[in-house]
Amino acid sequence: MAHSFTKIPVSPGGSAARRRVLVTGAAGRIGSCFAEQTHQRYDLRLMVRGDESRIESIKPFGEVVTANLADLPELKRSCQGIDTVVHLAANPSPSATWRELLPDNIVGTYNMMVAAKSASVRRVIYASSVHAVGGYPTDVQVKNSEPVNPGDLYGVSKCFGEALGRYMAEQEGLSVIALRIGGFQPVEEIQKGNRVSGAAMFVSPRDLVQLISKCIETDGLKWAVFNAVSNNAFKRLDITDARELVGYAPQDNAATLAPEFQAANLTNPLHSASLRDPGQKSGLREDL
């Protein structure tokens, strides 16, 4: 089976230094959440366009810099002295047209990875999306090793970023980890109800921040693509690789949070159709 990751040797002792992290799209929902939860753990440089409403709220969490994804020299300056880039900035609309996606999701992604390589950044964590594989039927759990299958042009733009990231890792020596982020929303939102349709893709803020942090701190990976959803009873995306390779241990489960699931009592173990079910006995029992 094809692997969705490439390993590299780990230097003895690893890195004990406090990491310097550049977050693009730092005033967005994920960026501002990440900054708030990790500013005591990392030295953050928070990149914004300059016109976002959340800029004042993120200033206590790190150095705020203004740069445009279209300006490669600006991006190179923003990357100076940085260990890891968490690249979140993009047009986030699944309904966006090609003309709307091209500047930030295609050209901007290229510029950001080139700037990171130019500045000798160790790793880029690229915010891909479940939309990169959204073309699979809804009853299919998508594994990292399966081919991309975008269901919209936004997903196509994320496939481009994944492909570019792998090229940068395998051919240019820049470590890149792509995260296919599911339905990011605060726990309070899924608790409001009417969220069952997206429960299989749910990723909570603390789970996503945990996964990003583990991707920052893990050595030994040249390239990887991980699925970023919480520990939901039903998972649209398989998270086995993230568990095994970086120690991702999500804490939240949409089935225990959404009111519509309460009557189903999904906190109990689901039937597995195997000997893991308490009432099912070993077929070998008479011969043991």
Q: What is the pTM of this model?
A: 0.91
Helix (H) or strand (E) holding 52: none
Residue 123 token pair: 């790793």
Instruction: Tell me the one-letter amino acid at 275.
Output: L
The label of the residue with tokens 């999904």 reads 266
In this structure, are residues 215 and 125 in contact, taking their beta carbons and an 8 Å threshold? yes
For the chain, domains (ranges, CATH) are 16-264 (3.40.50.720)
- For residues 46 and 194, what is the distance between their CA atoms, to the nearest angstrom? 34
Catalytic-labelled residue, pool 42, 126, 154, 248:
154
Q: Which of 113, 106, 110, 71 is nearest to 91 (CA)?
A: 106
Above pLDDT 70, what percent of the chain?
90
248 is catalytic: no
Cα R_g (the chain), whole angstroms? 20
3-class SS of residue 130: helix
Task: Give residue-wise pLDDT tens across range 44-75.
Answer: 999 999 989 889 999 999 999 999 999 999 99
The phi, psi pair for 183, rounded to 5°, reads -85, 90
Residues 80-86 have a mean pLDDT of 98
Q: Are strands 175-181 and 123-129 parallel, antiparallel or unpaired?
A: parallel
Is a pLDDT exceeding 60 seen at residue 80? yes
pLDDT reported for residue 260: 67
